[in-house]
Amino acid sequence: MSISEQTLTRRGVMGGMAAAGAAAALATGAPAVAAAAAPAPAAFLPADPLLHLLRRATFGPGPSSIAEIRRLGAKAWLDRQLDPSSIADPVADGVLARLPLARLGIDEIRARVAAGTLKQYGWEPMWQLGYAALTRALWSERQLLEVMTDLWSNHLNVTCPSGDVWDSRTDYDTMIRKHALGKFSDLLKASARHPAMLTYLDNRYSTRAAPNENYGRELLELHTVGQGHTEADVKNAARLFTGLTVDRATGRYRYDAAEHATGAIRVLDFQHANTTATGGEAAALALLDHLALHPLTARRIVTRLCVRFVADEPPASLITTLVKVYLDNRSAIAPVLRALFGSAEFAASIGAKTRTPYEDLAATVRILGYGPATSGTKFLESLYGMARDAGQAPLAWGPPNGYPDVAAAWASPSGLLVRWNFHLSIAAGWWPETLVRPASLLTGTVGALPATYGALIEKTAVRLCGIAPTAKQIAALAEFYGKTPASPLKANDPAAGWMYPYLMGMLLNSPSFALR
Amino acid sequence: MTTSVCGCEDNRQAVLSRRRLLAAGAGVAAGVAGATVDTGLAFAADPAYAGDVLVLISLRGGFDGLSAVVPAGDPAYYAARPAIGVPKAQLIGGDAFFGLNPGLAPLLPYWTGGKLAAVHAVGQPAPNRSHFSAMEELERAAPGTSLRTGWLNRMLGTVGSGDPFQAVAMGTAMPARVLGGPAPYVGVTAIDRMVLTGDQADRPIAATMTRLFEDAPTSLRGTAGQLTGGLRQVAKLRAQAYTPANGAVYPGSDLGNALRDVARLIKTNSGLLSATVDSGDWDMHENLGVAAPGKRMYDQLKAFATALAAFAADLGPDHLRRVTVITISEFGRRVAQNGSGGLDHGYGNAMFVLGGNVKGGKVYGRWPGLTEAQLRDGDLAVTTDYRAVIGEILRSRCGVADLNGVFPGVTAAGLGIVTAR
């Protein structure tokens, strides 16, 4: 079956429900629901490959990014995105300057506590980090970096905010950004020794006498090889990681040889004599290097990338191709992304992804082209609250597996209600009311006043969804105003004035915007 | 009108296939399993389900069962808590050995009336003092397996109807961990807040949306249909201003509001099988206080008891007959108070069970004792797996014949805490 056919079947939906990112090939034998002759999802989206790339590699197309990719073409656009430091980012930087705590390192947070300017155990840096993540998703020009930072933040999840990582979570984000487009082996080793991860998965409390298995288990099950390891592997990994801890006095990473459990260990096909306590850290890093380049890890990582960028159930052929690219490049991610976005499978996957609540929120603001408020952070708190109410505040997922990335996990009527409500509220400028938007929404969205209701609906849809609605949809939307598509539109009609945001909202609710 | 969203043979089969999926150990975090057939009507009782509505109250933060259900007959309790032990003279209800904290006074009629029971020294199979990971394990409830679904979702996979309104996470639209998995459920922040902004007679947004989704991909159409159908149903509920019965007065707290909405759904026979509700702020590392108004633990218990008592009163005996309420928490607290007059994270705990068929007025479970040798690293030991308690209720009251599909490898406790249906 093609991807688009698969998504129409219950099997496609259910199969995608394996723990996010895990390639659980399930032969469920579930019966396909007799799909009422619904068109394939691809029919709801524009076929333009540039828009397809924008919908997948960014948090959503916006007027300026559409213009940019048309100017550069796909390859040059992607090259630029893979070199984020070459991209000026004035709009996001301007907002981030209002969130100074979001960038603080562990030492800086503790120094401020010592100086009395920050509360010990306070959550303010973590809240600001959440707002900063949202700011970048909505307004950063370095979109691929943001998407990848989000992906790794979920793959190596450390809940933000959460009390135990009050002094280390912002620094953890800095670490992820540094490696987001680099090598997975570097990212994995940095995360293993980061106080936030050591705290979140309890390895800091793991001792020679009483190894804590939490990190060892998730390292194998979530961060690297996935299924296919044994309890003995978990226990051995946990023993090898004893001694990797956090200095209570400074909050920094520390290797405590006195707490390292020596003795030969075996984890999957990795073996280490682990004879000395002083050599424990090096042995642990050797295991991480081994795991990062393990074929099963390669499969998990590229599957996660494919689930994010291609389809809830990625084509096996693409996974096979990308596993080889990953291993040939010793876990470097940029070559994998180039191969992914250049693949035939990617090109054929239009409509195979559905926006998650957070992607929906970001895509809404981006396609509207509304700018951040000129001062303050209240508007960020409002937008963050919308993401939270829809179930997906950035970085806030509790369990270690990160937010799910498949449509089935988010297909919740109550979540959808929150989304339909924020579409209208944001578009109309009711809440948040301080985003910078055109003086006239109609002029800003479609330019000159269209002659008919049908033309108004079609132009607005093309502007917001990239594609004209079906005749049936246009008729339904005209009827909302008590009109037909052929009804002439007059400048003083409510539909061209105070009731225009309702059209924007309903189009943002439509299947063409729900799909990515 | 009682057409189910998924009231079709396809869906019955799909429920079966979901069970197979669970058996295969697939897991996902939240939400409604996509493709459903849209009939636009969301509320429908599953005629096949004749069990109790299971109401799960999660006491978040680590509930101190020893302050709530006080082992007054164990001198080690008072020795360990010189400043915050609840004196015998203040205890209410209980029995020869245990007594209830006076903050629980609003629930006393249900205790003495035999509808409220406690189980003590319950907990997870292994100590876990991390809030996050203990909560995770509590709701996954399948240690030693790779299951990532929540136990309540697995229960729905066993006896559920496939209708999203079969289970409601009340008070939140966040994915509920315990309900995570392929069986559909709904998160509702509040019935009165389930409103589509701007939708009114002369601005029919919901009706227009139904038409926009008519030819949409099945999964999108299903969810949109559940929402528009659900909005219609909830609007009907809202149309009649809700007055709690029997003079019940809910406190204006999150817990009170959520339980009030659960009662509304139960009383309208909406097809509800299970509801989850959260009660937060039990993490009292400092200044837990004596059992008196204005003190932290007492006030919290009072607020909890007031809300739960209002819920029970509102349901009245007729509805309470098919409802069982369970409280759970990620862990209990350390037996000995700490230097800040509070309690650090512990292990064994108490849980409450309330319902029309509970054999109440007593404390179940085997008491392990509180002397140093009897403790588990300074904490109350666990003599009954919490899953065995829930399992007993699932078997006796909810028609779950085979517990393995919900709690792998767990045997029902056999406490006799409820009357079998």
Show residues of chain A in contact with B182, CB under 8 Å: 14, 17, 408
> Side chain identity at A136, as an amino acid letter?
R
Q: In chain B, which residue's Cα lies nearest the Cα of A400?
A: B133
DSSP-assigned letter for residue B192: G
At A84, list the tokens.
């984020």
Rounded to the nearest 10°, the torsion over CA A334, A338, A343, A349 is 80
**Which of A44, A358, A420, A470 is the best mutation test for B, with the most CBs of B within 10 A?**
A420
Decide if A24 and B219 are in contact by the 8 Å CB cutoff.
no
Decide if A412 and B219 are in contact by the 8 Å CB cutoff.
no
Show residues of chain B in contact with A413, CB under 8 Å: 32, 42, 164, 186, 223, 226-227, 230
Q: In chain B, which residue's Cα lies nearest the Cα of A41?
A: B217
pLDDT digits (tens, 9 = 90+) for A466-477: 999 999 999 999
Out of B17, B30, B186, closest to residue A413 by CB: B186
Out of A354, A406, A473, closest to residue B28 by CB: A406
Q: Classify B42 as helix, strand or coil.
A: coil
Decide if A502 and B198 are in contact by the 8 Å CB cutoff.
yes
Over residues A312-340, mean pLDDT = 98
Preceding peptide of A404 cis, ω within 30°:
no
pLDDT at residue A516 is higher than 70:
yes
Query: What CA–CA distance (Å, rounded) separates A61 from A138?
Result: 10
Question: Strands B116-123 and B384-385: what pairing?
Answer: parallel
Q: Residues with Cβ < 8 Å from A180, sequence gap 6 or more? A: A145, A148, A149, A152, A187, A333
* Model pLDDT, residue A321: 98
Task: Give DSSP secondary structure letters for A246-288.
Answer: E-TTT--EEE-GGG---S-EEETTEEE----STTHHHHHHHHH
Could you list the pLDDT tens digit for every one of the 421 residues in chain B?
332 323 232 333 333 333 323 332 333 223 333 323 223 233 444 457 889 999 999 999 899 999 999 999 999 999 999 999 999 999 999 899 999 999 999 999 999 999 999 999 999 999 887 777 788 899 999 998 888 899 999 999 999 987 778 999 998 766 678 998 888 788 788 888 889 999 999 999 999 999 999 999 988 998 898 888 888 878 888 888 899 999 999 999 999 999 999 999 999 888 899 999 999 889 888 899 999 999 999 999 999 999 999 999 999 999 999 999 999 999 999 999 988 899 988 999 999 999 999 999 999 999 999 999 999 989 999 999 999 999 999 999 999 999 999 999 999 999 999 999 9
Q: Residues with Cβ < 8 Å from B89, sequence gap 6 or more? A: none
Report the candidate in A458, A381, A466 with the shortest Cα–Cα distance to residue A66: A466
Show residues of chain B in contact with A479, CB under 8 Å: 208
φ, ψ (nearest 5 deg) of residue A493: -70, 140
- Model confidence at A35, pLDDT cuts 50, 70, 90, reads very low
CATH of domain B9-203+245-405: 3.40.720
Decide if A408 and B220 are in contact by the 8 Å CB cutoff.
no
Q: In chain B, which residue's Cα lies nearest the Cα of A14?
A: B33
What is the distance in angstroms between the Cα of B133 and the nearest Cα belonging to chain A? Answer: 7
Show residues of chain A in contact with B204, CB under 8 Å: 480
**Measured over all CA atoms, what is the biggest interatomic distance in chain B, rounded to whole angstroms?**
72
Q: Tell me the domain boundaries of chain A.
A: 3-47+405-514, 183-292, 295-347
* Model pLDDT, residue A175: 98
* Model pLDDT, residue A30: 31
With both helix axes pointing from N to C terminus, report the angle between A357-368 and A378-389 in degrees, rounded to the nearest 10: 140
* Model pLDDT, residue B339: 83
* Model pLDDT, residue B173: 66
Show residues of chain B in contact with A354, CB under 8 Å: 219-220
Per residue, what are the HEC states of A48-78?
Answer: CHHHHHHHHHCCCCCHHHHHHHHHHHHHHHH
* Model pLDDT, residue B415: 98
- Model confidence at A211, pLDDT cuts 50, 70, 90, reads confident
pLDDT at residue A10 is higher than 50:
no
* Model pLDDT, residue A313: 96
Quickly tell me which residue has 């479609």 as its tokens: A446
Over residues A345-371, mean pLDDT = 98
Show residues of chain A in contact with B199, CB under 8 Å: none
pLDDT at residue A412 is higher than 90:
no
Decide if B32 and A413 are in contact by the 8 Å CB cutoff.
yes
- Among A32-41, A361-370, A451-460, the minimum mean pLDDT is found in A32-41
Decide if A398 and B209 are in contact by the 8 Å CB cutoff.
no
DSSP-assigned letter for residue B326: E
Decide if B132 and A162 are in contact by the 8 Å CB cutoff.
yes
CB A485 within 8 A of CB A457: yes
Out of B21, B28, B204, closest to residue A409 by CB: B28
Show residues of chain A in contact with B223, CB under 8 Å: 411-413, 416
> Which residues lie across from A245 on neighbouring strands?
A254
Quickly tell me which residue has 């926006």 as its tokens: A355
Over residues A11-30, mean pLDDT = 28
Q: How many CB atoms lie within 10 A of CB A498?
A: 10
| Measured CA distances, A276 to A192, A235, A282 (Å) | 20, 19, 10
pLDDT at residue A1 is higher than 60:
no
